[in-house]
Amino acid sequence: MVAKRPRTGGKDKVRKKNERCDREMVSQSFVEKITIIQNDSLNGAVELTKRTLKAIKKEIERATNLKEELPELIQMLSLVHPEMASIAMIAKQLKQYVEHEEDEEELKTRLQKELEQLGQEITTREQQTVEMLCTELKKYKSIMTISSSTTIRTALAMIPQKEREKEIYICESRPLLEGQTLATQLAKMGYKVKLFVDAAAGHYLREVEAVVVGADTIFRDGSILNKIGSLALALLARKYGRPFIVAASKNKLSTEAAENYGFYIQEKPAEEVYPEKVPNLTVLNIYFDFIPKELITTLISK
Amino acid sequence: MVAKRPRTGGKDKVRKKNERCDREMVSQSFVEKITIIQNDSLNGAVELTKRTLKAIKKEIERATNLKEELPELIQMLSLVHPEMASIAMIAKQLKQYVEHEEDEEELKTRLQKELEQLGQEITTREQQTVEMLCTELKKYKSIMTISSSTTIRTALAMIPQKEREKEIYICESRPLLEGQTLATQLAKMGYKVKLFVDAAAGHYLREVEAVVVGADTIFRDGSILNKIGSLALALLARKYGRPFIVAASKNKLSTEAAENYGFYIQEKPAEEVYPEKVPNLTVLNIYFDFIPKELITTLISK
């Protein structure tokens, strides 16, 4: 999910961990960069993964004792965006080198090369997924989506100007309303955009040919996590016989089994939903819905 | 649906009609009262129907030529809240007297009596429905609802203080967020309330024993209209095997066939959803969802 405003009340786990630990090896500059990435709800997984890779590369360049520093760096990565498989993938890649019997300089060179290659793979997978999605999208005169998927926006941007007669129905996407931002962007591209509250999706779904969403996580069995509200969209699409299409590259592929999806669904700041404090009133705020594979018609994923 | 803020951009159909027509019979004071009722999104159907009845009684008292005035008064009633069956019922009742061969005073007395009786019937039906709902609600430790149904709030207020350990999950209910108001009211009554965005209902529905909603209109076949988002709740309840309970008195019973429900679903002011004007971007805003009878487990209605 790509959100409009930065998270305000999120726990600064990375920084806290850093303050607790006496034998710090990683640099302050690295901690700062990672903390910014952690608190970023504005950018999607691909962008944040690229930034993470860049920060790690810089940190490896700086390191004087990589073998001792690496386990700590890996541990920090696990706290950045636990829901983003592409960042977990970097940690996994780095772990292979912790026990390597190599000298410092050799290890450094090899890691830099590996990370460079990983970055390229991530970019390639994303590009290929966007191209596949673009071909799929050309089939429909009208689609509905929720939240703001970079994959979907990029695929729509690839469609030639003269073919942009498509109607795009977008849920506003509470709590952070990033659907409003996507709606404005697509309207500027020349698409005929319709924006409405999330709860109205059931009414307007009858008017579209397909529902197309991104995914924040793809589980091994093909189930996904995506912006809350996606589960209702999938059920409504099923009810009206419309395809429910998910587009997300294998960068989002989780190593977790689908039944452990609860791990990714964390409580977010209550103020994003309702700012007042009232006794007996608990304000709940989560970002993700679990959509079981049987509700997904097509998974477009390279 | 009971909404928090008054409608701002709604078309003043009653007043406009009044300005167009040269041979006005009804009083300016009546037109003003009816216009206020028309623009009221704060109060529920029962309250607005009572106010309408009161205004009509006053107008009949004032009238000097009831037989000529009645058709116009009836026509105005059809524009007040077309989605409220209880107001349509008054119009229907009055229509019977248009062709009556009675003298002015006799007709006046008879109409006053009929309207008085109708008012009592409306109150009684509502009270009995609330009592039936109260008995039903005692069965569940946790329920979910959307919007702010007066029937549900009154039934919950009837449950004794010491039995208010119930957990009540409430959708915030965009666009006007009247769910927030209900959540605060029920928390003050001592219930343990959980509030969340409409799109998160699918996630939290697993935690409740039943979904309970009001209705703005009941069709003859048992299908209903209720706050948008209700259709998704009904589908989610079905998916998780939870009962979907509707509580609304027969005051809401429409004479329309269910398939004509589109008549009740009108576009509301776009600014309530998104205030900015962007070329190519249409902001859609509706208040009601149609829920077919096969998705309703129980209809509590006197």
pLDDT tens profile B131-170: 999 999 999 999 999 999 999 999 999 999 999 999 999 9
Residues B35 and B170 in one domain: no
pLDDT per position in chain A (302 positions), as tens?
Answer: 444 433 433 445 555 544 444 445 789 999 999 999 998 877 888 889 999 999 999 999 998 888 888 999 999 998 898 878 889 889 988 988 877 767 888 889 999 999 999 999 999 999 999 999 999 999 999 999 999 999 999 999 999 999 999 999 999 999 999 999 999 999 999 999 999 999 999 999 999 999 999 999 999 999 999 999 999 999 999 999 999 999 999 999 998 899 999 988 889 999 999 999 999 999 999 999 999 999 999 999 99
Least confident span in A200-204, B36-40, B144-148, B205-209: B36-40
- Indicate the helix (H) or strand (E) that contains B249: none
pLDDT at B76: 92
User: What mean pLDDT comes out for the span B220-228?
Assistant: 95
Which two tokens mark B211?
């979904």
Same-domain pairing of A147 and A296 = yes
Q: Residue B164 sits in a domain of what CATH number?
A: 3.40.50.10470
Q: How far apart are CA A249 and CA A36, in angstroms?
A: 24
Chain B residues whose CB is inside 8 A of the A236 CB are 231-232, 235
**The residue to which tokens 């302050």 are assigned:** A28
User: Catalytic amino acids of B?
Assistant: 216
Q: Check residue A292 and give its pLDDT.
A: 97
Higher pLDDT, residue B84 or A177: A177
What is the bridge-based pairing of β-strands B224-227 and B217-218?
antiparallel
Instruction: State the pLDDT at residue A14.
Output: 53
DSSP B64: S
Task: Looking at the structure, tell me whether residues A158 and A107 fall in a common domain.
Answer: no
The answer to whether B201 contacts chain A (CB < 8 Å) is yes
In this structure, the answer to whether residues A115 and A144 fall within a common structural domain is no
Number of independent structural domains in chain B: 2
Q: Which whole number is the average pLDDT over B201-218?
A: 96
Chain A residues in contact with B190 (beta carbon < 8 A) = 280
The last residue of a domain, from among B125, B152, B173? B125
Instruction: Tell me, yes or no, whether A61 and A161 share the same domain.
Output: no
Nearest-CB residue to A195 (from B232, B239, B281): B281
Rounded to 5 degrees, what angle do the CA atoms A273, B206, A180 make? 35
Interface contact A173-B202, CB threshold 8 A:
no
Residue B45 pLDDT grade (very low, low, confident, very high; cuts 50, 70, 90): confident
**A199 contacts B280? CB cut-off 8 A:** no
B199 touches A: beta carbon within 8 Å:
yes
Specify the higher pLDDT residue, B52 or B17: B52
User: Do the domain assignments include residue B2?
Assistant: no
| Residue A25 is assigned to a structural domain of this protein | yes
Strand order in the sheet with A217-218: A217-218, A224-227, A288-291
- The domain in which residue A105 lies consists of 13-125
A277 to chain B: which residues are within 8 Å by CB?
Answer: none
> Residue B229: its chain A contacts at CB < 8 A?
198-200, 202
Of B101, B125, B149, which one is at a domain's C-terminal end? B125
H helices present in A138-255, as ranges: 150-158, 178-188, 201-204, 230-239
Residue B279 has pLDDT above 50, yes or no: yes
| pLDDT the model gives residue B14 | 53
Interchain CB contact of A262 with B (< 8 Å) = no
Q: Which of B185, B203, B204, B273 to mutate to test the interface with A (most CBs of A within 10 A)?
A: B203
Distance from CA of B131 to the nearest CA of A (A): 25
Which positions ≥6 away from A148 have C-beta within 8 Å? A1, A2, A3, A173, A178, A179, A181, A182
In a domain, B6, yes or no: no
In this structure, the answer to whether residues B113 and B163 fall within a common structural domain is no
Domain co-membership, A224 together with A85: no
Amino acid letter, residue B177: L
Asked if residue B6 has pLDDT above 50, the reply is no
What pLDDT sits at residue B161? 93
A261: nearest CA in chain B?
A: B203
pLDDT, residue B20, reads 43
Q: In chain A, positions 30-49, which contact chain B (CB-CB < 8 Å)?
A: none
Task: Look up the CATH number of the domain holding residue A79.
Answer: 1.20.120
Mutate to test the interface with B, among A145, A184, A196 (most CBs of B within 10 A): A196
- Shared domain for B133 and B180, answered yes or no, is yes
Q: Which of B194, B197, B231 sits opposite A174 (nearest CB)?
A: B197
More confident residue, B274 or B8: B274
The verdict on A142 and A226 lying in the same domain is yes
What's the whole-number mean pLDDT along residues B30-36? Answer: 94
Contact A196 B283 (CB under 8 A): yes
| Mean pLDDT rounded to a whole number for chain B | 90
Query: Please, which residues 202-231 of chain A have a Cβ atom closer than 8 Å to chain B?
Result: 202-204, 227-229, 231
Assess if residue B25 is contained within a domain: yes
Same domain for A239 and A274?
A: yes
Across B248-272, average pLDDT: 91
Cross-chain CB nearest to A200 (options B190, B191, B284):
B284
SS3 A255: coil
Q: Are residues B281 and B133 in the same domain?
A: yes
pLDDT at B244 over 50: yes
Helix axis angle, A104-137 to A45-62, nearest 10° = 170
Question: Where would I find the H helices in A99-222?
Answer: 104-137, 150-158, 178-188, 201-204
A8 assigned to some structural domain? no
* Helices B13-20, B66-80: crossing angle, 10 deg rounding: 140
Distance from CA of B162 to the nearest CA of A (A): 15
Q: Is residue A262 part of a domain?
A: yes
Check residue A4 and give its pLDDT.
Answer: 43
Question: Is there a domain that residue A3 lies in?
Answer: no
Last residue of a domain, one of B67, B102, B125: B125
Whether A232 and B201 lie within 8 Å, measured CB to CB: yes
Provide mean pLDDT across the span B279-298: 97
Instruction: Answer whether residue B238 is part of any domain.
Output: yes
Which residues partner with B211 through β-bridges? B144, B244
Tell me what ipTM this predicted complex has.
Answer: 0.87
- The pLDDT value recorded for residue B10 is 41
Residues B132, B276 within the same domain: yes
Q: Please answer yes or no on whether A171 and B202 come within 8 Å at the CB atom.
A: no
- Cβ atoms B60, B111 nearer than 8 A: yes
